[in-house]
């Protein structure tokens, strides 16, 4: 599985970001700065292992496998 998010509008808020679907297909969601970093990696070219490795390279935080699959 190679997750891909469609284009979303990113609105900075205190403590995080609001991701808004400009097409109105889904409701918006509030995410933390680390979650936004992970979302930005979801471009359809990386599987879960690649995402985990890239996120670790960028942040130094290593997701547990079960945590990554529920994100």
Q: Which two tokens stand for residue 59?
A: 């942040």
Domain membership of residue 66 (yes or no) is yes
Q: For residues 42 and 31, is the Cβ–Cβ distance under 8 A?
A: no
Domain membership of residue 4 (yes or no) is no
Number of domains, the chain: 1
pLDDT number for residue 2: 92
Q: Is the pLDDT of residue 36 over 90?
A: yes
pLDDT number for residue 67: 65
Pairing state between β 16-20 and 29-31: antiparallel
Domain hosting residue 13, numbered range: 9-70
Domain membership of residue 2 (yes or no) is no
Q: Is the pLDDT of residue 11 over 90?
A: yes
Whole-number Å distance between alpha carbons of 62 and 21? 28
Q: What is the mean pLDDT of residues 34-54?
A: 92
Domain membership of residue 3 (yes or no) is no
Q: What is the mean pLDDT of residues 47-52?
A: 90
């Amino acid at each position: 599985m190679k997750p891909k998010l469609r284009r979303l509008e990113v609105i900075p808020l205190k403590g995080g970001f609001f991701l808004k679907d400009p097409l109105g297909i889904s409701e918006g969601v509030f995410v933390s700065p680390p979650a936004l970093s992970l979302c930005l990696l979801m471009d359809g070219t990386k599987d879960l292992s690649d995402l985990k490795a890239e996120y670790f390279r960028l942040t130094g935080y290593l997701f547990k496998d079960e945590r990554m699959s529920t994100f």
